[in-house]
Structure 1
Amino acid sequence: MFAASFKMNKLAAVTFLCSFTVLLAIIWIFFAFGVFQPETAQVENLGKYSLKVSDKEETTAFFRQFGLNVDFTNCVQREIIIPEKFDSLYEEYNNLQKSQGLDLSKHKGQNAQQRIYPIITDNRQEYYAVLIVIRDKVVGGHLNTGGIDEPLLNFLGDKA
């Protein structure tokens, strides 16, 4: 059996504890503020899909995963804050997100960008794709016709 012992003076012990505490705080901040966001999500009907939307090319690829073609020239963007506490409406909306492999509850209280893209279709019906984006990755979104009473659909075109 091998045993080792060592002496540490008080200054070294305090320095070690402070350094360790700072390291833990940095790791917690990275996770709490979504710095380590996944680059893919998985959904049963589609499998694994990319969440990257840092530029037009990646955004086009994101929508093509779902068979969608969007109009970039008429895209509307605005800053939003995902609520700290979800009411019943937001819980229902988050269930829609979960149906496509996403979960907004991991981003409560965070700033995000909402991007609304008109979808280019063969018929005259207007459809919109709404993305909720944090650090160039999709964290939520839906499809709809823009009508107040119209149901929101996931990216696959299904209701939650």
Structure 2
Amino acid sequence: MEYGRTDKMFVLTVKTKINNKKKFLFMCAFGLILILAVVFVSCDNTPKSAYCKEIGEYSLSFSTSNDKETFLSYFNVTGQPVTIDNVRIPENFNSTYERYNKIQKAMGLDLNNFKGKTTKRYVYKGKDNYFVSILTYKGKVVGCHKSKELYGSDFVSLLKE
């Protein structure tokens, strides 16, 4: 290493010699893989908002307390979750999931993009004695509905009927 100083700047020069081309190629490949891994992990393809005619455009963020309050306010739901668990969206939809996804599409959502993924489900008790279930993936809402039972299959849209 050489250190040099001019009147207005400091210069550091580093000289290296790579004797082994295989080591150099390995390090380049390792660096490329590391960069690709960081890009892959940091990319979030989940939508940030959705649109439906009853509400207009609304945010799907559901990671902070404020995000949750904002999302729930669109559907007049308040309070703390009754339960939080995980739900795996199946790879192949049966008639129940097809019906459920039709409700989601009317709200600007689509579970087809999350087939085979495990989502986090937050269940709230609504003022109208319905249970409101919110499905999230990576902090974004991917599905929601209300039902009379905690885990009921009598689900309906959160939109005003």
User: Same-fold call, TM > 0.5?
Assistant: yes
Rounded Cα–Cα distance in structure 2 between residues aligned with 1:97 and 1:60: 20
Q: Which structure has the highest strand share of the two?
A: 2
Provide the identity percentage: 27
Q: Amino acid of the residue matched to residue 35 of structure 1?
A: D
Rounded Cα–Cα distance in structure 2 between residues aligned with 1:151 and 1:109: 23
Aligned to 1:54: 63
Rounded Cα–Cα distance in structure 1 between residues aligned with 2:137 and 2:151: 26
Cα deviation for residue 151 of structure 1 reads: 3.8
User: Which structure 2 residue ranges, 5 or more long, are not aligned?
Assistant: 1-28
Which deviates further from its counterpart, 89-98 or 145-154?
145-154
Which aligned runs of 4 or more in structure 1 are off by greater than 3 angstroms? Answer: 147-151
Residues 1:71 and 2:79 aligned together: yes
Cα deviation for residue 71 of structure 1 reads: 2.1
Cα deviation per residue 1:61-116 (whole Å; 9 max; x = unaligned)?
101122x13220x5200012110111111111110100100000100001110110
Rounded Cα–Cα distance in structure 2 between residues aligned with 1:59 and 1:90: 25
- What secondary structure, in the 3-state scheme, does the structure 2 residue paired with 1:52 have? coil
From 146, 149, 153, the equivalent of 2:149 is 146
Rounded Cα–Cα distance in structure 1 between residues aligned with 2:49 and 2:87: 22
Rounded Cα–Cα distance in structure 2 between residues aligned with 1:148 and 1:36: 29
Alpha carbons 1:79, 1:113 under 8 Å: kept: yes
Aligned to 1:88: 95
Cα deviation for residue 148 of structure 1 reads: 8.0
Rounded Cα–Cα distance in structure 2 between residues aligned with 1:59 and 1:101: 18
Alpha carbons 1:130, 1:143 under 8 Å: kept: yes
Aligned to 1:12: none
- What secondary structure, in the 3-state scheme, does the structure 1 residue paired with 2:108 have? coil
Alpha carbons 2:131, 2:150 under 8 Å: kept: no
Aligned to 2:115: 108
Cα deviation for residue 157 of structure 1 reads: 3.4
- What secondary structure, in the 3-state scheme, does the structure 2 residue paired with 1:75 have? strand
Say how many residue pairs are matched: 134
Q: Amino acid of the residue matched to residue 51 of structure 1?
A: L
TM-score of the pair, normalised by structure 2 = 0.69
Question: In angstroms, what is the RMSD of aligned CA positions?
Answer: 3.0
Rounded Cα–Cα distance in structure 1 between residues aligned with 2:153 and 2:91: 26
